[in-house]
Amino acid sequence: MHTSTLIIVLLGLMSLAYYLGRKRSLNLVSGRVRDLHSLPSYYGLHTALWCGIPAILLLVVWISFEGSVVTSLVVDSLPQETQNLPSERLNLVLNDIRNLATGDIVSTTVDENMQQAADHYARLQSISHMAMFVAALSLAILAGFIAHRSISRQQRARNRVEKAVNFFLLSSSTLAIFTTIGIVLSVLFESLRFFQQIPVTDFIFGLEWSPQTAIRADQVGSSGVFGAIPLFAGTFLITLIAMVVAVPIGLLSAIYMAEYAGRHFRSLAKPVLEVLAGIPTVVYGFFAALTVAPFFRDMGASLGLGVSSESALAAGVVMGIMIIPFISSLSDDVINAVPQAMRDGSYGLGATRSETIRQVIIPAALPGIVGGVLLAVSRAIGETMIVVMAAGLSANLTANPLEAVTTVTVQIVTLLVGDQEFDSAKTLAAFALALVLFVITLALNMIALYIVRKYREQYE
């Protein structure tokens, strides 16, 4: 039997426990729910939780230790000379044994010892599975039975169930936090390995980016210079262009939607605008690369400007268009959240609509708008696909939007695409870039939250 079968059986047992617990509580008071401390369903839930949780915990512990215990038993049974192999070689052998036991392809020829070990492995596995099955099921039945017996008129089943719910909620929220911490730590440790090879100052203040490192000593054209400034400059240039496009258009369309548009126009235009947000970025990417970038290049040519066919301008403008719905929908929400009383107060004094918007509504909604814009900035900094396709890969340090630039995220992609060795400076540089990028977006988000919190309560 498989573990999933066991879980289904456990769920069945829990339903049974719920039914029995509920029934017992009702029987205790012969149907008069008023005489119970909690509602009958809480007694049912209490019994079901006792039936399920200990068994599931046992299952988790068992599965997480099963592998290592079984492996060490198998290792003990191997011939002495195999046990004395260095750990990487031993791992290879163990891998073969596992593959043999499950019927996968094996990398070496199978000898007597291997076959024996594989059989041993399979046997141990099945014993462990059976034991787990028996242990989990008996624990479930035992705990459920005890909980069922303990039901009494005064038992505070509701409080206990609430406590369990509380714990579930807590563990869900900590899961997200721990995931974040895990990602940060993994990026951090890889970055530290990178900084052991390349000094931090060279990375942060270096003006040249050319990550091709030589694999063989006689290779040419592989300088391996890791100065991140051109990448961050490119990122900020493109983000700036995107914001210059997105903030005014997004904000003005939000103002129109919230304050001027009739109901019909609004009900039509708002979903259409939000469709923009639903277009995959890769579609924006080829729109930028195939339509917008050539358009800018031709236009530049007719004006006598040299615009490269992959330009920061094209990528930035298309990214700005992508972000418009983001800003307009967030600003629309905050503008609508400004109380009607503010508008009434202003109209009541004879202010026109545009005066009211400029002098009352926008100031009152400003914290929310700033927060939305900063979130959009984080989004623009993290955007990859459009830039890969439309802005090119060459790490130019330039403030000229008509030239090709590259961004941090694009470089991370190119560094990690294809076959890589995971201890070269070239690959590890991706983690260092990710770390710096993470710090920057985190700082932006914190500033956004701070601004929003500081000014949030102004009206009320």
Partner 1 sequence: MDEVINRNSTIAPELKTGSGSEVGMRVLKESQTSGTVGDIYVDDPRMTCRNVNVYYGDKQAIFDIDLDIAKNQVISMIGPSGCGKSTFLRCLNRMNDTIDICKVTGQIKMEGQDIYDGGLDVVPLRASVGMVFQKPNPFPKSIYDNIGYGPRIHGLNDDKDHLDEIVETSLKKAGLWEEVKDRLDQPGTGLSGGQQQRLCIARAIAVSPEVILMDEPCSALDPIATAKIEELIDELRENYTIAIVTHSMQQAARVSQRTAYFHLGKLIEVGETDQIFTAPRHRLTEDYITGRFG
Burial 401-421 (b: 16+ CB within 10 A, else e): bbbbbbbbbbbbbebeeeeee
Of 74, 360, 408, 435, the one binding partner 1 by CB under 8 A: 360
| Token pair in block for residue 459 | 């009206």
Of 10, 55, 74, 364, the one binding partner 1 by CB under 8 A: 364
User: What number of residues does the chain have?
Assistant: 460
Asked if 261 interacts with partner 1 (CB under 8 A), we say no
Class of residue 72 by CB neighbours under 10 A (exposed 0-12, middle 13-18, buried 19+): exposed
Asked if 342 interacts with partner 1 (CB under 8 A), we say yes
Residue closer to partner 1 by CB (options 262, 304) is: 262
Q: Which helix (H) or strand (E) element contains residue 210?
A: strand 209-213
> What's the closest the beta carbon of residue 430 comes to partner 1, in angstroms?
46
Task: Compute the CA torsion angle 296, 299, 304, 308 (nearest 10 deg).
Answer: 20
Asked if 344 interacts with partner 1 (CB under 8 A), we say yes
Of 349, 399, 443, 446, the one binding partner 1 by CB under 8 A: 349
Asked if 350 interacts with partner 1 (CB under 8 A), we say yes
CA distances from 331 to 255, 324, 326, 346 (A): 8, 11, 9, 20
Asked if 341 interacts with partner 1 (CB under 8 A), we say yes
> What's the closest the beta carbon of residue 262 comes to partner 1, in angstroms?
7
Interaction pattern, residues 91-130, with partner 1; x per rule: CB under 8 A: ----------------------------------------
> What's the closest the beta carbon of residue 248 comes to partner 1, in angstroms?
24
Asked if 460 interacts with partner 1 (CB under 8 A), we say yes
Residue closer to partner 1 by CB (options 342, 370) is: 342
Q: Which helix (H) or strand (E) element contains residue 89?
A: helix 87-102
Asked if 348 interacts with partner 1 (CB under 8 A), we say yes
Which alpha helices (DSSP H) does 207-338 contain, by range? 229-255, 263-278, 281-287, 293-303, 312-337
| Token pair in block for residue 441 | 């977006």
The CA distance from 430 to 100, in Å, is: 37
Residue closer to partner 1 by CB (options 193, 270) is: 270
Residue closer to partner 1 by CB (options 304, 348) is: 348
Interaction pattern, residues 297-336, with partner 1; x per rule: CB under 8 A: ----------------------------------------
The CA distance from 138 to 117, in Å, is: 31
Which residues, other chains included, contact 341 with Cβ-Cβ below 8 Å and sequence gap of 6+? none
Question: Which residue, 207, 246, 247, is CA-closest to 230?
Answer: 207
DSSP single-letter state for residue 34 = G
Ramachandran angles phi, psi of 344, nearest 5°: -55, -45
Interaction pattern, residues 262-291, with partner 1; x per rule: CB under 8 A: xx----------------------------
Of 156, 359, 443, 449, the one binding partner 1 by CB under 8 A: 359
Residue 112 is which amino acid? E
Which residues, other chains included, contact 180 with Cβ-Cβ below 8 Å and sequence gap of 6+? none
Q: Which of residues 75-94 bind partner 1 (CB under 8 A)?
A: none
Of 104, 274, 298, 355, the one binding partner 1 by CB under 8 A: 355
Axis crossing angle, helix 408-416 with helix 425-456, rounded to the nearest 10? 150
The CA distance from 442 to 367, in Å, is: 18
Q: Which stretch binds partner 1 (CB under 8 A): 49-57, 144-152, 193-201, 340-348?
A: 340-348
Interaction pattern, residues 220-259, with partner 1; x per rule: CB under 8 A: ----------------------------------------
> What's the closest the beta carbon of residue 273 comes to partner 1, in angstroms?
21
> What's the closest the beta carbon of residue 358 comes to partner 1, in angstroms?
10
The CA distance from 86 to 424, in Å, is: 24
> What's the closest the beta carbon of residue 271 comes to partner 1, in angstroms?
20
Please report, as ranges, the residues that interact with partner 1 according to CB under 8 A. Answer: 262-263, 339, 341-352, 355, 359-360, 363-364, 458-460
